Amino acid sequence: MADGHQREMVAMDRALELAVLGPAHGPNPRVGCVLLAADGRTIAEGHHAGAGTPHAEAAALAAARASGADPTGSTAVVTLEPCAHTGRTGPCTDALIAAGVARVVYAVDDPNHAAAGGARRLAAAGVDVVGGVRRDEGERVLRIWLHALRTGRPFVTVKIATTLDGRVAAADGSSRWITSPEARQHAHRFRATVDALAIGTGTALVDDPALTARTADGGLDPHQPLRVVVGHRPVPPAARLHGPGGELVTLRTHDVAEVLGQLAAREVRHLLVEGGPRLAAAFLRSGTVDEIHAYVAPVLLGAGPAAVADLGIESIADALRLHTRQVEVVGPDLLIVGEPLRRTTTTHPPANAPKET
């Protein structure tokens, strides 16, 4: 039994590796699955490649059959509780039961009210079910998706790029380029992992950004996030935002809750707020920022606009402090990734959460 437990732990580690192969963006979770024969051998693997494609369990079962392996009596080791609903694909629970899988080991309970209940359904069919295996690791892989399902709103990352003295532009308004080409390419790679990018109308009018995710050679990444402009002023017809890239969405509001609600309705799981200082401040004041990416260049200006507008903080005791999760050297610049320590998150009923498909 001890040997069997160890083999399942190794298989779960592999399933977590497989999960990361799935897209970081989109309405569905990143899930991996490993099928173990009764003697502990791995007979098949699978992962979910995105909405409309087979779920990890179905992909692993298909791989087993394609190789001539019989999944009857096998153990399915999967990073998320198998779903019990029909979306674009059938329930994974039914596929596992029909295949004769004898045991299911999973990491994270499914918080999606429409898809949950898979463990109960499997157990009712006589399948041995164990949950919570490598739960913390599974939660880390699924943190964006889990956040969206549990709160009913997108996970919000605020990105800033500043000088050492916290400026985002010089006194004359020029801002290209504060950070290095390496930092900008790093930011483009991150853009390709999110569902939507947001800027304020001021940034749209002054900077005329394209808001695209680009590859190292300057081409468009295959995944282009929604381009969201927040504010009441219209985007000029000749703006680069009307060019190639993701769909342009204009939200005529300054209400952060309304922005997040409209994006949740569009199945946005991860929102990257890129500018400008007033929009960043609005999200920070609302308590809905989950993560900050700060690119800091070894440059001094001494004057010019700050990265974040007024937060209404008058005392150092009331400063919004961050837990530093990562520090990375990117070319000559630094990337600091932090999470606000003092945050009040507005939580909506799970029924408002985007659907899994």
Say if CB 251 and CB 229 are below 8 A apart: yes
Say if CB 152 and CB 264 are below 8 A apart: yes
Say if CB 257 and CB 286 are below 8 A apart: yes
Helix (H, G, I), strand (E, B) or coil at 132: coil
Distance CA 280, CA 310 (A): 10
Say if CB 189 and CB 226 are below 8 A apart: no
Q: What size, in residues, is the chain?
A: 357
Distance CA 220, CA 217 (A): 9
Distance CA 188, CA 211 (A): 9
Q: Which amino acid is at 203?
A: T
Nearest to 158 by CA among 267, 50, 352, 309: 309
Which tokens go with 126? 């006589």
Catalytic residues: 57
Burial class (CB in 10 A: 0-12, 13-18, 19+), 344: exposed
Which tokens go with 217? 């050679």
